[in-house]
Amino acid sequence: MSEFINPYAPPAAEIVSPARDSLRTGTILSKAWLIYRERFVVIAFTIMLIWVPCELLSSYMDAFTFGEDDLRKSLKFSQFLDNIFGIIATAGVIHVALYHNSGSQVSTGQAFVAGLRNWPKMWWTNFLSTIVLAFSLLLLVVPFFYLFPRLALAESVVMSEGLSGNAALTRSQELVRGRYWQMTGILLILMVLIFLPMALLIGLSALDIMSDHWIADAAMSVVLDIMSAFGTVCLFCAYEAFSKRGDNPAEKGSQILLS
């Protein structure tokens, strides 16, 4: 029995679903969530490999060395751990995201090795970025907010293109050019997504609903570190979209009109 065929229907080859614009913020966030969800186990273990000992040490120092009232020393020590060891985990997460599109399976060990291998470039780039942002904040608040979104893709540039230092910062600014407000919006969204759970956990701790033991504090911090890895994946997806925008015919046309 033959099936009914609509004579007015277009040929199958002409039925093409509209492609999603890879430059849209929603598309970037959706792709980041896809990578984060599908590679969650590897990402989580990569974070834990670095941050479990670091958070245990930080919580121990807060409880037995710094004291509850010495917030300045506690923040400085946490920043030190992040600048020295945290960038290994960040590089590992970007490495996982980088190989997601190719379908390659990346193990926690491979992500850790990639983080170690790129540690000098990541540290130097992060150091220069921190100096530039700190100096701009000391001058005026406006330069800081001008530069912060423009330098947000520097770590993804290091892992994807092998650049470091000033070259990575310059490349990040080139990628964000013309996309400043979109990049600012992405950063604001990430801040809300990350700080809301953080505020909830801090509130539960303040109400004595959660244990006040230093090991419990370290465990809570590790959970927040794993959640924050979504921001790293999202910035990588933004880097990927912005670096390929020249392949978009519409984007090419707008570049020709602006040139």
Mean pLDDT of successive 10-residue stretches along the chain, which has 259 residues: 47 43 88 95 96 92 76 84 94 95 87 96 96 86 88 96 96 96 95 78 61 80 92 96 66 34
Let me know how long the chain is.
259
Q: Residues 80-107, buried b or exposed e (16+ Cβ, 10 A)?
A: ebbeebbbbbbbbbbbbbbbbeeeeebe
Distance CA 26, CA 34 (A): 12
pTM of the prediction? 0.82
